[in-house]
Amino acid sequence: MRIKICGITNLDDAKAAVDAGADALGFILYPASKRFIPIERAIEIIDKLPPFVQTVAVTVNANKEFSNLGWRKQLKHFGIAQLHGQESPVHAKAVSKYLPVIKVFPADRAAEFDPAAYAVSAFMLDTPSTDHGGTGRIFDWSLAVAFKQRTAKPLILSGGLDPENVAKAIETVHPYAVDVSSGVEASPGKKDHAKLREFIRICKKF
């Protein structure tokens, strides 16, 4: 089972996640998020990571940013773009010129979208939220099971996962990967390293 630890804001948490076996780290470049990190600070952390760690630029409706040449040059430090807003298929295709794309859908609306319309590398389902993630609440995982049947693209499961429920989530959905932020935190933007290690230990059983 592949594991993405999202909401990384400092080097200590990044190193703890990597040392515990995380496959990917997510950096939230959305200023309204409690886990926001400026892109310059994210790059400083990324530059200190070992090889073979995937890095994810998490954005929300970032139209102006992706049209800015300087911002696009900075994005080259990341491996993947995660689009966590109301981005259209056209938006996703435009971003895919620079980075592979993960498109996120709120789970309760996933059935409204046509996966085939999106030129992306993977999809993610998350708990519906006006804050675009970080709710700490799970959703009905049957929605993820149903969505998987509609696409051959990898599905990443997010939303309220923690060491207590992630095994059941994996057994129910059989996702390509899981994504966690608040479920392994001591406070918004600061990870609890014991929870982090336990979450990854459980996931690696699958």
Per-residue pLDDT tens over the stretch 150-159: 999 999 999 9
pTM assigned to the model? 0.95
Q: Which of 126, 162, 179, 203 is catalytic?
A: 126
Q: pLDDT tens digits for 14-72?
A: 999 999 999 999 999 999 999 999 999 999 999 999 999 999 999 999 987 887 888 88
Q: Which of 6, 13, 162, 203 is catalytic?
A: 6
What does the alpha-carbon distance between residue 180 and residue 109 come to, in Å, rounded to a whole number? 20
Catalytic, 6? Answer yes
Q: pLDDT tens digits for 167-190?
A: 999 999 999 999 999 999 999 999
Minimum mean pLDDT among 23-32, 82-91, 129-138, 167-176: which range?
129-138
Q: Could you name the CATH architecture of 2-203?
A: Alpha-Beta Barrel (3.20)
Minimum mean pLDDT among 1-5, 8-12, 52-56, 59-63: which range?
59-63
The pLDDT > 90 percentage for the chain reads 90
Residue 131 has pLDDT above 80, yes or no: no
Q: pLDDT tens digits for 101-116?
A: 999 999 999 999 999 9
> Where would I find the H helices in 48-133?
63-66, 69-75, 89-95
Catalytic, 126? Answer yes
Structure tokens at 97: 């010129």
Structure tokens at 165: 């429920």
Q: Which residues does 88 contact at the CB level (< 8 Å), separation at least 6?
A: none
